[in-house]
Structure formats: structure tokens, C-alpha cells
Structure 1
């Protein structure tokens, strides 16, 4: 069904191929072949329609609320892709007639999808069809389509209906008021619409062109305007073997666009259509070439090379990098990355902790400017986070579990069926999964300590860290008997444990947040008294810092048990019932345990949905000894069923840290196959964005051993047995490094030399260099061969 080895020559490990058409598997390929550029994203639905399709197109940041009883979501925009194609009176459809040849290939290198079909109709007439499509990286508003039709068995009358279909919904919810519609010259189509609640204007344009054997022709056109639809029916006659080429060029603009300089809707309509017509005259190939050039530049900046005979691994890394690129709105800091990117309706386009902990690290070490924009989104939504805290009776800023346009909480109240009661399951994450507040602060601090960007901290970062500390200072509760501050009634990263007290991850990260705010206060006071004064006038940070210190000192932090060094995940986890989890750890599809137990029952079992306490050993690794890390790995990993796509990559990194090399590689393979693998139902609702980021993290943080430890770089490689070498770029403190690791050596080249010298730890030893570092890797350390 999926061929991972189609690419040859320069395309080796760049091509994915769907080799057989199966209507049951449409959603899989709609997701993994999705196209985009960070501004818009289009699922890879076919031009002809099938019952199982989900025809989605999203524009980042254009959130809308269907009604007051629902949360906001990214609206599914009108559809450009659909083509109703009739050949000699027979509708082209792959479930009718006979498929004589089929291939749909997706090129990760240039973002183009090509579908080639030889089809025989019920009349036994044969046709060769080639469908091509791309979303432009050169102009973020642009989509290009091309269709080639060649009759193989005689004269053919071609009828094609194409247009802009505004009847799309989000699972039945219509987010648009209908606007103006017009058709110019029978081929230039324009539709406007406005979101019902957020009042964002959209302008949709498309135009059509035809060639017969290379000659531009004008087909017979029959335009039509209907409710929420406008289109045109075009008719052309072909002789046997005569090739018809059809090109459709499309664009989307909104009143919210950061590059919108038109001022009003009328001027935006005129300017966008004129621009589209100019693009269409350049033609598909020229537009694709420009887009491919931008892709080439992007790939040249982030090359990762694995020397191995397992080509899937190289393909999987590129697949992850491709999707990280198309899901991330690096053009606009008012927008962040949704849990499904721009590839599906899952999670409604909302932003989670996935961004700071799983996605941002890729950009932090490859494109720091894009990373800063992701964090600026959190500053743009800081007032919403403050409002969340106020509504719950707290101070400071409480970041929402699910964030959209304003930073206010957007988590739905009810979810899937409860297998015991038969009613919807109550969703508590939006109320009590609060660790995201410190996760955001952690992302800010990691960015600062990795890049040294003090200007960002003055503009955004210090305020975020201090306001999140204010939240935790108001959130902790004093426990008189213990003389400690507790954090009660929360959900940690393990969402199979609801309403727990003193979740270790939450408590440790809250403590880190408070202590980091103190550092920020002291640093700002001494380095920039003017900026400190402004913040102090607004937030009274001098007074707040005293409270941060008192509460950081006395917050309860669960400690390793004396008998086995295991840290309690929460107050009751270690006392819960243990059951045989083999059925659920070996499951073919995630969530099997939810078919046997409801959430109340699962909360009473020692089972974890995903890494929880273990994440601390990655984020705050210097606070724990290797002995404690291994003890907790040995206890908690067997209790984890990996029902979250975030889990496997985290465990891969930790497996490297505790020297479980074979298991680490196996977990990397499993993580890489969540979306890319042969499971045809794993990605129906869209790509798993955090897991995609986790693939890169597994490679660079796990096998490459890279860490940013509070401003210190560490590289402690552990290559899988199947890999001979690994090469990757790494931005550090303004310099771009090229890292090469093999079984015996670590080589680093500084391509920018902005710093006088760079220092890093390798297997416990500090090394300093300016331009190159060449180390022999030996167990227990590394000997210097060359450093200059």
C-alpha cells in the first residue's frame, strides 16, 4: 500500500508512494500527503469525490466559534480541489470501471503530489490521467493544480466542472456567512465569505486554462452561481492520443493576513484576483519551480543525513522535517502550531504544550527566528492567560490547556463515550491540567539560554516567566501538618490519572518556574534597571520575588523512596492496583484500555497513558542522579501503554540516557511509524504534530545526545547499532554548527564563528574550541584529537 523506496537517484529517500487505491484508506493519505506552507494547509483529498473523504483546507489563526455552546476552532474553508470529470458521458471514478495502473507519489523535497492513473470506463474506453498539485512556498496564498488527460482508445468529449465550493463544514458546523460571488470572462472565479463570530473576511480566487497538444485553447464554458457555490462547466473534444492539459490556479487571502495592505475588502478583492491572473499566466511549471527553489533553500539549511542501510529512517526524518515546516506559521507571531497542524479537524486547531516541549526545539536549534515567533504567540496571548487565572481565583497568568486566538481556555467540556455509563466523558484537562503554564515558561527560558537573545526577554520573556510564577505562587496550598506547600487536584502529563495531589512533574516544574522567575528578577535588576522599573511598576515584581522565594523553598517535591529510589508520580499512584498490562502494551491500535475501563476505573490502576514523571529526567536532568533515573525508568516504563503519540519519542530519548540502546531504537521506529507507518487508521484526523517533533528530538536529543542545560551545550552521542553515522546542523548562541557523529568520533565545525570560542560537555568533560572540534569517543569520556 505504501512504498517507501520509490525514490531513485537524487530522489532517494524523498518519495512516498501510494501503490494501490483503496477508498477505505483515503484519510491516511489525505493526512500524510497533506500540503501547506504554515499559512494554509490542504488535505490531500482526490479531485473526484468519495464518501469517506474529509475535504479540509485551513488558514492558520482564523479561529471562529460556531455558537456560544461550542469552543472556537479553525474553520474549514471552501474547497478548490474538487473536479467533476466526465469522459464520453462516463463520470471518472475509481470505484467504477477498471483501474489498469495506479500510483500516487508525494515528493517531500519539493512538496508536489502526482497521481497517475490508467482507467478503463464501463464502456471499455481507456484514458491516461495525471493529476499534479502543490501549495506554494514562494507565495503563501497560492495553490497550483494541473491535470493531463490522454484518450487511449478513440475520440473523447471531455466535460469538467470546477469551482469554489463554500458548502464545507467542520463536522457539520458552518463557520461562514456567504459573501459576494462573481465569474469574470467565464474562467476567473471569486468568492468572499466572513467568519460568523470572529468577523474575518476571506477572499477565494481561482482561474482555469487549457492546452491541447501544447496549444492554448478556450473551451466551451457554462458558468453557474448557486448557494455557497460558484463554478463553471467546461467542454473540450479530443482525438485519440491527443493530450489535454488543464491548469487551475487558486489563492486565499484574509483580512487578518499580516501582509494585507489593501485596507478594505473591496481593494483586497481586486488586488488578489489581479495577482492570481498574473500567476496563472506564468503557468504551473514556472510556479512550481519557484516554490521548489524556496524548498531547496529550506532543505539546504537543515540537512540531516543518516548513514545506514535502513532507508526508512532517513525518509522518516525528512517526513518529520517536511511536516514541521508546513505546520508552523513562521511568518506571523500571532499564531502557533495546532496539535494536528493544518492537516485535519482533530483538536480543532488548538495549541497545546506540544509546541514548547515537542515542536519548538526543532526550530530552536535550526531556525531560532521561527522559534522566537512561536514564543511571541504566548506573549500575544498573555492577557488571555491572565484572564484564565482570574476566572479561577488565582493571580498571574494561567496558560490554557487548549489555546486558540486569545489565550483563553478552549478545551471542550465533554468528550468520547464512557464505556460504563454510555454518556459522554467529562474532560477535566482544561480545568486542572495546569503544568502547561510552567511548560510555556520552560520554553521561554530554553530559548533564551540557547540563543542568548536578551532583547526577546526584555520584550516578552521576563514578563511571561514572572507572570507564570505569580500563578504558581497563588496556586500552591499550605499544608500545616507537613509545613509544605502542596499542589492539589491536578492532572499531570499522564492523563490517565485525574484529580491527583502532588503530581511530581507539576510540582517540580512549578518549583523550577518560581526559582527561574527569581533569577530573571535579579538578572533584569542588575542588567537593565530601566526595564526592571517598568515591570516593577506594572507587576510589583520586587514584592513578588520575595513570595516566589518563600514558596519555592517550601513547595513539596516528592523524593526517591529509600527502598528503591522510585519517586511517587503522585500521592497515591504507587498504592493503586496493578494488573497485567500486556494486552494494552501490545495493542495494534491505541486506546484499547478505554474499551474495558472508564476514566474513573483507570485512575485506580497503576497504568500511565504516557511519560509523566520521566519527562523531568529530560527537562530537569541535572536535578537527578543516574541511579534515580534508571530506577524510575525500570518502574514506570513497564506501566506505560503509550496511548499518547507524545510518549514514544520521550521514552526513546530517556532510553538513550539510561543506555537502553536497542529499546531506544525500537521506540524511535515505533514513533516514526505513528503517521508514516502502514497502520491505515492512525492518522485519520490529521498528523500527530508533537510526535512529528519528537522524531527529530529522538534523533538529535536521543541518538545525538544534544542538550541545552541552562546555557551549557552537551553532546553525548549514542548511535543505534543500525546507523554508521549521523550528521545534523545545530544553532548555538548565534553560531551555526555542523555536527558529525560516527561510532568512534564526534566532529563539530563552526560555520559562522560569531563567538570567540564555544564550550561544550562531551561525556562529562568540558571542551573548548573556536572553529573545529574532533574527538575520539571512548567509553567513559572523549580524548581530544584536534580543537581549534
Structure 2
């Protein structure tokens, strides 16, 4: 199991800053992730502008939704295996800045680094950095830099460097580049680590360097994308020579010689813009020229305004624990900058901070991440769901490959829509993804009332994906003709290819019921659209009646003797994993034991049945949840970062406040404290979404069921208060919780009635906050 002490003081405890003080080479890779920036389209890892030791950390600049493709090589092939893998594309690095002082390279391994500090500014949306370096000659060079990936100019990265000498005169050499040289393949047996790209897949198209302008373009032969970048420079202050230039297939460079004195520092602003297209390289010259008309300060003001708007509806404030406060804001910040802003993109498991998991999108998006955006910025949640609609044709094709005669099967991991998981027992077999997507569609519509989305896209997604269940399930005569689903894998990747996974069956039941309801709703609300869609789908009343019957007779495995839901039919037939004699350094188990060794034991990688109890919470009593939690929690390793948040939520619901707080601490600082020791490969976006779930739907007890908004808050031990906002059905509601009361205030929208425990509370705008007493956390 994962055990980590808190290292909260590593980055200070400022609620709006992540501060790296000094330079520690061992943390370089980790900090390249933590100090990464993005805007949903472009993502830039936080490696140093002037570089560091080769191979010390992965450098990367990524474009969301743009990928390479390569055939998957199997030692033994079988019908229906995934054919191709997709890897997130690396764009040209924008920030390479080679420096020399009087002909000597500015290198942290040479000379003396006197002072170094870097800050991720969560309120400003940028990274600032300062250092002082003493050259072997004794001269001291200063750098103050700022970097941002624009939230208002989607294709722009802009950097500002202020270089100065403390005394004397020096000749500074500045080499600025665009560098699209492919990264070397990662050498790792860890399936979570992504790999590099075969250089043979890249076809150089354009390389120019003239008058301080740089352009690069290359074509990805395997996927058909063409990536382009263009850079411009503004130099002010010191005396600067005319630049010289150089290009090769994947690199464009300009070099300046600068005479520095203390009275005449150099201020260099570098603008880099990105674009992608099909076979033709996009022309970025006009965009770059427009961007160069504005200063870094102009973009910094825009960035601050965008962040102010984000935090105004999305911030979570907690009192009494600065480490938790910092962790919460750090996580929400990274979610915001990782999420694709257009309907053709999604959010990767590592965001735009690394090529871990090859940049793939998972079901994490709908279950762990979408709720945060749904209840704070619903338009962004809408785009997440429109992505699923955009890949419906690929999901239909995948269903046919698996002998599913109609409907769709969404991939476990993908970028462009094609299933990319080479290991089907823990990939394709996770059929629950269809139900997860339908669940998210239902939640979105209940929270927003966005009928247009449901009519134009959501209904088709839900109905097409519902067709999966009758195709892979059957009525089992040995179980009183109940509807059973065999050979599936639930969320728990340590238990694969089982019959009647409880999570899968329960979510399939909810999916089918919603599909039946939605079929009639669409006929009533948009009869012309319904007629058109049902004709195109060849969907009729008989098929919908079959869905209703399958839902009604769905088998949900249960053990009467212990009073618990069974994760699957065979779970109790297996011996419990020998946790007592498993060395601490043998976690995660997947890196130390063959899958078959793990599969034959009672051991969970992550929440499975526990997750179902949360998602479908209104179907289970508190006593039932407690029995299930008591059984599954001790045999769960939490080797997945998707696990701790669900255990925090359930622990709080069943009266274990200390456990709820313990798991919440892990979730809130999972990456800042590097609990799983792999953050150097990228953040864990699902866990970050779990932060919001823990606080708002865990401790805050928020639920939206049958269009009724409900809260049942508790205050975690060690906190003096917490406060958050939610957008529901066109209203913005602020919720504040202290040691004795919860306070509710309607900030925007029409009057609303909500439930606080057993109390009904009516809210109107311009009304003082309404107070209600808290329940005991152990009740």
C-alpha cells in the first residue's frame, strides 16, 4: 500500500504560490511537472529555459488532441485486439535559451549558483523565476524571468527574460531556439510511463530563421497531422548585435551578442505561437505579428483576469490547514489549464504536463473530473461530453469488432477515438465505460437543464451506448433468469475478466433505465429529431422494452451471510492477499507481481464496489455502505490515484471522520508531495478532480438527485471552516461551513429550494445567508 509522510513545507505554504527555493537536482524532473503550464491546447513542462543536465528530466511541449499513431506489436495476435497506439504529439520546445558570459556557458554545474527561486503563481496563471550565478571569472549574472501559456490567446506561449550584471561589463551570448527534435524513448517497464516517437514518422516541412523570426513545421506521417510553430523576439535595454541564424530539420535558431552593464540590462520577450492542420502546414505569420504588438505585461493582465474569473466560481477556501489549502488550489489550477476547450478534445490522465500514459484520455474524465467543471463552469463540461459524441463512429466500429451487432463501445484509452489499450483484460473488458459516459450525460442535463445538448448530441450517445448491454449480457437460468454480464473488468484493475462485476452491473442498470426514460423524453420534447434519430439508428419500441426488462432483472451479486455486495461472483472464492508479508517496496503490486498472481487473490487496486456506492448513493442505506466499506477498505492497496478520494467520501458518509480526513490529505497533496513517486511523468488529473469531490460531495455532502439539490455537511477535524460555490440549474450558490453551522447564499439566478439534511431551505438573491446546524460526523 502507498505510504508517504507529508512533505508540505517543500514548496512553502503560501495559499496562492508553489515556491521552489534553492535548486535541488534530484527534484528537477518532479518540478518539471509541478511547474508546468497549459491552456487546454498547449502544454509546456517546467524545465529550465537555459537547460540542465541532459536526461535529467523530460522536456515537452504538447498539443491536446494531436497525436502520432503506430501499430501495436503483439508476440501472439488474436482477432479484435487493438491495432494501433496513439501518442500525444510533441510540438517544438519554445523556451530554449542558451547563455554564455564572456564565452563561458552559463551552467549550474559550473560556476556557482548563489541564489535560485521559482514560483507557480496560482492567482496570476504564470511561472516566475529568479537566480544569481557567479561565473568562474567572478562576475555575477542575474536572471528574472516570467512565463505564461495564454488563457486568452489559445495558440500563444510568451516568455520574458531580464538579464543583468551586478558589476563590470560582460559580453552575453543569447541563443534562442525552436526545437522539435523527437525525445528519446523512455526506458521503463512501468506501463504508466509513455514512450518517445520514432523519428522516421516525422517529415520535416518548413524551417526558416531570419531577422529574429523562426518557423518550424513537420508532418506526422502516421496520423496525418501537420504541426507548426513560429517565434518572434523583442530585445530592449542593452546594446545588441544583429542576430545570426541557423536551421536544420527540427530546429531553428537565432543568436545575439549583447554588451551588458549594471546600468543597461537586457529585456528579451519571446513570443511563440502554435497551430496544427492536415496535410498543409498552417500559416502562423499573421498571428505572430499580432501577438508581438503587445507586451508581456499586457498578456499578464489578461491572464490575471482569466484566473480571477476562474477562481470567482471555482475556488475552495479552507481554514486551519494551510497545506490542504495550497494543495486544493494547486489541483484545481492544473485541472483548469489541462482541459481541452473545444469539443474535439478532452483531458488526459496526465493533463498537458507529460507524456505519461501516452497522453491518453480515460473514463476518468466523466467520473472524476467532469463534476468539478459541471458545477463550476458547465460550458467546459459540455465540451467534454461533446468529445464523446465526436468519437461515436469509432465507438460503433469498435463494437462491430467485438461482435456487438449494433450500438457503440467507447474505448478504455484513446486520443482520436480508436481503442489504444494493448492489454484487453484490463482495457477493452472495462465495458462499464459506456455506463460512465451515460451517467455523466444524465448528471450534466440535471445540473444545467441544457435541452439543446441532449437533443443534438447527448441522447444519441446514451442510446447508442445502451445497446451494448443486451449484446454482452444474458438471462441466466442458473440465477433465476436474472440478467447477467460475464467476462468483464470493473474499475479495479487487480481483478480482471470476471462474471457480474457489481459496479458494471449496477451502472449498466442505471444506464438502461436512463436510456428508456430518455427515449420517451426525446419523443416528447423534440419529436422531429427523435423520428430522424430513431430512423437512422433503426431503434424501435421493442428494443427499448428489452432495455427496460434487462434493467429490471439485472443481477447484483450479494452475500447474505456477510450482508455485503460482492465485487463479482468469484470474489469470495479467492484467498485474501498476504498483506502482512508483502514488502513495502513491492507496491504498486503491478510492478512486482504477474497479473495472474494478483487476479487470483482478494485484493483491490482501487475503489470498485465502493465507487458504485458513491455514484448510486441513493440506492443504498448507510448501514449497507458501512458493511461494504468495512469489507473492501482493508484489502484495497490504493495503488491507483483514483482510489483515495472515493474512500474519503464513503468514510465520511458512514461515520469514519478520521479515515475521511486521512484519505483527503493524500488526495489534496498527491502530486505536491509525490505520494506515488511518479509525478515526474505528469500530474494525476483524476485525483485532482477527486479533490473537489472529497470536499464538496464528501464533506459537503452535496448531491443532485431527481433534480433536487441536497447538502449534508460535516467539518473535518483540524479545519476551522470551508467555503465553496456551485452552479446548478442556472444558479450560483455559495456554501460556507464552520464548526456548528452551514450557511447558504444565492449569489445569482432565480429562487431555489434545497435540502440540508432533513431541513428544507429556500434561497433568494439579495437575501442574507441562511444558516442550518451541522450533523455529527459519526452519525
TM-score, scaled relative to structure 2: 0.91
Give how far 1:447 is off: 0.6
Task: Return the match for 2:721 from 705, 718, 725.
Answer: 725
Give how far 1:489 is off: 1.2
Change in Cα spacing, 1:634 to 1:680, as seen in structure 2 (3 Å) is closer
- Report if the CA contact (8 A) 2:399-2:409 is conserved: yes
1:320-346 deviation line (CA, Å, top 9, x unaligned) = 11111101112x111111111111101
Of stretches 602-611 and 111-120 in structure 1, the one that deviates more from structure 2 is 111-120
Asked if residue 320 in structure 1 is aligned to residue 328 in structure 2, the reply is no
Asked if residue 373 in structure 1 is aligned to residue 383 in structure 2, the reply is yes
Change in Cα spacing, 1:680 to 1:489, as seen in structure 2 (3 Å) is closer
Change in Cα spacing, 1:274 to 1:753, as seen in structure 2 (3 Å) is closer
1:170-207 deviation line (CA, Å, top 9, x unaligned) = 5243453211122232x011122222233223221111
Where does 1:618-637 land on structure 2 (aligned, <5 Å)? Answer: 618-637=614-633
Change in Cα spacing, 1:527 to 1:644, as seen in structure 2 (3 Å) is same
Change in Cα spacing, 1:180 to 1:670, as seen in structure 2 (3 Å) is same
Give how far 1:55 is off: 1.2
Coordinate RMSD, CA, aligned:
2.2
Asked if residue 361 in structure 1 is aligned to residue 361 in structure 2, the reply is no
In the other structure, the counterpart of 1:599 is 595
In the other structure, the counterpart of 1:230 is 252
In the other structure, the counterpart of 1:554 is 553
SS of residue paired to 1:249 = strand
- Report if the CA contact (8 A) 2:670-2:676 is conserved: no
Task: Return the match for 1:612 from 588, 608, 614.
Answer: 608
Runs of 5+ unmatched residues, structure 1:
257-263, 414-425, 782-788
In the other structure, the counterpart of 2:80 is none
In the other structure, the counterpart of 1:73 is 87
- Report if the CA contact (8 A) 1:110-1:291 is conserved: yes
In the other structure, the counterpart of 1:761 is 755
Where does 1:297-336 land on structure 2 (aligned, <5 Å)? Answer: 297-308=309-320, 310-330=321-341, 332-336=342-346
In the other structure, the counterpart of 1:30 is 32
- Rounded to whole Å, the distance in 1 between the matches of 2:430 and 2:682 is 23
Give how far 1:574 is off: 1.5
Asked if residue 135 in structure 1 is aligned to residue 149 in structure 2, the reply is yes
In the other structure, the counterpart of 2:276 is 254
- Report if the CA contact (8 A) 1:137-1:292 is conserved: no
- Rounded to whole Å, the distance in 2 between the matches of 1:82 and 1:484 is 63
- Report if the CA contact (8 A) 1:222-1:234 is conserved: yes
- Report if the CA contact (8 A) 1:654-1:702 is conserved: yes
Higher relative contact order (CA 8 A, sep 6+): 2
Where does 1:75-474 land on structure 2 (aligned, <5 Å)? Answer: 75-169=89-183, 171-174=196-199, 175-185=201-211, 187-212=212-237, 217-240=239-262, 242-255=264-277, 268-269=282-283, 272-308=284-320, 310-330=321-341, 332-394=342-404, 395-405=406-416, 407-411=417-421, 413=422, 426=423, 428-474=425-471
1:567-609 deviation line (CA, Å, top 9, x unaligned) = 111111122112442576x95x783433542110111111100
Runs of 5+ unmatched residues, structure 2:
1-6, 74-83, 184-194
Asked if residue 512 in structure 1 is aligned to residue 510 in structure 2, the reply is yes
- Report if the CA contact (8 A) 1:2-1:17 is conserved: no
- Rounded to whole Å, the distance in 1 between the matches of 2:615 and 2:706 is 10
In the other structure, the counterpart of 2:44 is 42
- Rounded to whole Å, the distance in 2 between the matches of 1:162 and 1:245 is 14
Change in Cα spacing, 1:518 to 1:595, as seen in structure 2 (3 Å) is closer
- Rounded to whole Å, the distance in 2 between the matches of 1:68 and 1:592 is 25
- Report if the CA contact (8 A) 2:746-2:763 is conserved: no
Change in Cα spacing, 1:429 to 1:737, as seen in structure 2 (3 Å) is same
- Report if the CA contact (8 A) 2:722-2:738 is conserved: yes
Give how far 1:702 is off: 0.9
- Rounded to whole Å, the distance in 1 between the matches of 2:182 and 2:670 is 28
- Report if the CA contact (8 A) 2:713-2:775 is conserved: no
Give how far 1:565 is off: 1.3
In the other structure, the counterpart of 2:529 is 531
- Report if the CA contact (8 A) 2:127-2:148 is conserved: yes
Of stretches 531-540 and 75-84 in structure 1, the one that deviates more from structure 2 is 531-540
Change in Cα spacing, 1:729 to 1:97, as seen in structure 2 (3 Å) is same
In the other structure, the counterpart of 1:260 is none
- Rounded to whole Å, the distance in 2 between the matches of 1:329 and 1:234 is 37
Change in Cα spacing, 1:245 to 1:443, as seen in structure 2 (3 Å) is same
- Rounded to whole Å, the distance in 2 between the matches of 1:300 and 1:759 is 23
1:657-685 deviation line (CA, Å, top 9, x unaligned) = 11211111111111122101155943021
- Report if the CA contact (8 A) 2:141-2:165 is conserved: yes
SS of residue paired to 2:667 = helix
SS of residue paired to 2:669 = helix
Give how far 1:760 is off: 2.2
Give how far 1:366 is off: 0.4
SS of residue paired to 2:308 = helix
Change in Cα spacing, 1:780 to 1:322, as seen in structure 2 (3 Å) is closer
Change in Cα spacing, 1:385 to 1:777, as seen in structure 2 (3 Å) is same
